[in-house]
């Protein structure tokens, strides 16, 4: 009886460990669109979730771990896209659904690459929800650091704004 118990415990541990390393090796947050104002003081980073559970953004910093002046999430649709702005309350900004980071969970299945493919095929609709991390800072933004949680695991994503490359 004890042997069966230990084998069961070992199998569960192997399964849980394998699942953990699968998640760590395959982070769910995907970066899509990357755009900025000419002076790089306003930046939009298109983000999505290629996982199967929700992603919660915990913290965002810019450059050398500085707090941005303002941070919001645009919840838009694939046909409308994103807006680069330095005023979230501007009437022209309202249709882009600016919301506080803590109020938004990035839904599963919102991968930017999947939306780009749908747009290429002409199959994108207003129901295709997209997310854009919108940042404003008092100096040029050259890097965005995103700390997020997925299935209880914390991840850090670094996005270089200058080259448009994830690091």
Percent of the chain with pLDDT over 70: 96
Per-residue b or e along 118-142, where b marks 16 or more CB atoms closer than 10 Å to that residue's CB: eeeeeebeeebbbbbbbbbbeeebe
User: Quick check: 117 and 124 in contact, CB under 8 A?
Assistant: no
DSSP string, 11-37: HHHHHHHHHHHHHHHS-SEEEEEEEE-
72, 117, 158 from 53: Cα distances, Å: 22, 22, 21
Residue 94: inside a domain, yes or no?
A: yes
Residue 139: inside a domain, yes or no?
A: yes
| Residues contacting 17, CB < 8 A, separation 6+ | none
DSSP 105: E
Alpha-carbon 97 to chain mean position: 16
Residue 8: inside a domain, yes or no?
A: no
Quick one: pLDDT at residue 164?
Answer: 47
Residue 85: inside a domain, yes or no?
A: yes
Which tens digit of pLDDT belongs to each residue from 28-48?
Answer: 999 998 999 999 999 999 999
Which tens digit of pLDDT belongs to each residue from 39-82?
Answer: 999 999 999 999 989 999 999 999 999 999 999 999 988 778 89
Question: Which domain range does residue 112 map to?
Answer: 28-166
What is the rounded distance in angstroms from the CA atom of residue 93 to the CA atom of residue 70? 15
Cβ neighbours around 66 below 10 Å, total:
14
Residue 36: inside a domain, yes or no?
A: yes
Residue 1: inside a domain, yes or no?
A: no
C-alpha Rg value of the chain to the nearest Å: 19
Residue 165 has pLDDT above 70, yes or no: no
Residue 106: inside a domain, yes or no?
A: yes
Structural domains of the chain, count? 1
Residue 17: inside a domain, yes or no?
A: no
């Amino acid at each position: 009886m004890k042997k069966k118990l230990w084998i069961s415990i070992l199998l569960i541990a192997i399964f849980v460990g394998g699942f953990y390393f699968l998640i760590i090796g395959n982070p769910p947050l995907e970066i899509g669109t990357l755009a900025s104002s000419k002076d790089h003081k306003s930046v939009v980073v298109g983000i999505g979730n290629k996982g199967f559970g929700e992603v919660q953004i915990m913290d965002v910093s810019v450059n050398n771990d500085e707090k941005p002046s303002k941070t919001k999430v645009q919840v838009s649709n694939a046909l409308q896209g994103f807006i680069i702005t330095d005023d979230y309350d501007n009437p022209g900004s309202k249709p882009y659904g600016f919301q506080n980071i803590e109020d938004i969970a990035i839904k599963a299945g919102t991968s930017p690459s999947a939306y780009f493919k749908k747009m290429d095929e002409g199959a994108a609709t207003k129901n295709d929800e997209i997310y854009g991390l919108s940042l404003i800072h008092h100096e040029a933004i050259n890097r965005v650091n995103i700390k997020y949680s997925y299935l209880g695991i914390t991840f850090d994503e670094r996005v270089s704004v200058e080259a448009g490359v994830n690091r």
